[in-house]
Amino acid sequence: MTLLRQTIGTGEGAIGAAILSLLILIAVFASVLCPGDPLNIAGPPLTPPFTQGSLPLGTDSLGRDLLAGVVHGTRTSLSVGLAAAAAAMAFGVCIGLAAGFSGGIVDEALMRLVDAFQIVPGFLLALAFVSVAGSSAHVIVIAIALGAWAGPARLMRAQVLSIREREYVAAARVIGAGPAEIVFKEILPNALPPVLSLSAIIVAAAILTESALSFLGLSDPNVVTWGSMMSEGRNVLRSATWLSIFPGLALLTTVIGIYLLGEGVTKAIGRGRPGS
Amino acid sequence: MLLSVENLTKRYLSGSRQTTALDDVSFTLGKGETLGLAGVSGSGKSTLARVLLRLVPADTGKVHFEGEDWLTLSGASLRRRRARMQMVFQDVLAAFNPRATVGSVLDDPLRIHSGKRARDRKQDVATLLDRVGLPTGFADRSIREISGGQRQRVAIARAIATRPSLIVLDEAVSALDVSIRETILELLVELQQERGISYLFISHDLAVLRAVSHRIAVMDAGRIVETGAASQIIDRPQSPAARALIAAVPRLVTDAR
């Protein structure tokens, strides 16, 4: 909680938190803000924005409300991005912790696995996985997480290797603490903060990957996403630019908001450290 | 004999170079006795402490502690027996988890070893704080909020929490202000008289060792080169290593003249 307060205390953190809370509110209340299915036809096709009061952002080539699309797309983008990042973080932290703490052959094996995932571009991996396993929401989450867990794993291992040699870990062994207590009480809480500050980058990347996948048509066709909206807008890019611009702006705002919040968290953690 | 160490050897390999940290080290320590371990940095004092506390394995040699073959203990039985041998670390900040409070630091050993319920342990924590001369209200403070001298009192309280028979003090007062050093040494001597604890007191500072030790052992390049009564080592040093340590303490040189 103090970390949250310190984060908001930094300028970046405050702006990032404000942007993200707004987006989360939009995502949560999407059905209240724009009731009904956003894929329903709401007016004449290709209505330009700011011309009709009921359709403030205009309509796409099938006559669907663009504002409803952007609002409901927020829900998809945020939930897929956050879920994928959470999965990647959880898996990466576990692997890094196991590798760093056990050492020896286990460490070697796990780190080669990390190498294998790190040398394949994350987007390519996600693309391959979705093409094989289909394009339902949780497959997309797993696909994105597959390309993102190696970074946190590597950082977590480095943190564990450094922290397990600290004097307070030796002190815990001297008083007779068991291995589980040492890992979860002494090492994990102190190793985690720098790894957590990676999560902003991962969430942002996950949202971008999700949009890219749906831009290529590899998303659930029954769910509206910013990527699929841009993809459809591409066909009429010259005559109806707004179809691509509005979802693009939404994506940009989200990623900037997450980056700013992440920057704030990193700063707040740095201030909380002794001697800095 | 509370502790007897026989022919302890420990080598470190770094690349192709081999460093002998402990070379055939043997000594004994009686109940309620303080053995001062002197030596310049790099002479193997800290390695000896770490081998005794089972933080690093020895290559060869034997350690008998409270009638047990100490180096063959492992797993849960070792963790249980650790209550009997404790340590106070040199770096008064690094020896504590930065997230800990004074209360949690003292509660940990009690939780692991005493088998008492959380409510009863709270009382024990207060008693420990009181014993080392800290206000009981300190239990809620973060370990980072208190001064170096107070932190070393907490470290001593942690070490006596499990009622050990031996405490290894690795440069326990070296990082402290001279004015605080004396009160900490007094506290240690008081605890020894009260509870019959033995100390292995490691320091490079002979002035400190003379104040607390019954006997002194001098280490050099991993070997114990000289052992004897504290006064004898300081007044009539035999080995070059002991003479060099005495020369490093200006006040003692004046005393000798």
Q: CB distance from A188 to chain B under 8 Å?
A: no
Give the pLDDT confidence of B48-68 residue by residue, as tens digits: 999 999 999 999 999 999 999
Whether A211 is in a domain gets the answer: yes
DSSP 3-state of B138: helix
Mean pLDDT of A207-235: 87
- Please state which CATH number belongs to domain B3-98+165-256: 3.40.50.300
Query: Is A236 inside any structural domain?
Result: yes
pLDDT of residue A275: 37
Nearest to A201 by CA among A146, A152, A270, A250: A152
pLDDT digits (tens, 9 = 90+) for B64-121: 999 999 999 999 999 999 999 999 998 888 999 998 999 999 999 999 998 889 999 9
What's the pLDDT at A198? 86
Chain A residues 22-41 with a CB less than 8 Å from chain B:
none
Could you tell me what percent of chain B has a pLDDT over 70? 97
> Which residues on chain B are in Cβ contact (under 8 Å) with A189?
99
User: Does A55 reside within a domain?
Assistant: no
pLDDT of residue A235: 85
| C-alpha distances out from residue A97 to A89, A94, A198, A203, B182, Å | 12, 5, 16, 21, 43
pLDDT mean across residues, chain A: 88
Q: How far is B155 from chain A (nearest CA, A)?
A: 10
**Measured distance CA(A101)–CA(A24) in Å, rounded:** 37
- Could you tell me if A184 lies within 8 Å of chain B, comparing CB atoms? no
pLDDT tens column, B156-186? 999 999 999 999 999 999 888 888 899 999 9
Say if A77 falls within a structural domain: yes
CB-based contact B227:B211 (threshold 8 Å): no
Q: Identify whether A169 is part of a domain.
A: yes
Model confidence over B195-215: pLDDT tens digits? 999 999 999 888 899 999 999
Taking only the tens place, the pLDDT of each residue in B10-51 is 999 888 888 899 999 999 999 999 999 999 888 999 999 999
CB-closest option in A167, A185, A189 to B95: A167
Report chain A residues whose CB lies below 8 A from the CB of B53: 170, 173-174
How many A×B Cβ pairs under 8 Å? 62
- Domains: count for chain A: 1
Q: Is B91 on the interface with A (CB under 8 A)?
A: yes
A11 is a domain residue: yes
Is A40 contained in some domain?
A: no
Contact check, Cβ <8 Å, A186/B97: yes
Closest by CA to B24, choosing from B53, B54, B62, B57, is B62
What are the chain A neighbours of B80 within 8 Å (beta carbons)? 176
Tokens of B223: 């070997």
Which residue range is the domain that position A120 belongs to?
2-30+66-272
Determine whether the interchain pair A186/B89 forms a contact, defined as Cβ–Cβ distance below 8 Å: no
Most confident of A40-49, A69-78, A89-98: A89-98
Structure pTM? 0.81
Residue A20 lies in a domain: yes
Amino acid at B225: V
Q: How far is CA B40 from the centre of its chain?
A: 16
3-state helix, strand, coil in chain B (%, to 5): 45, 25, 30
- Residues in A closer than 8 angstroms to B50, CB to CB, are 170
CATH of the domain at A196: 1.10.3720.10
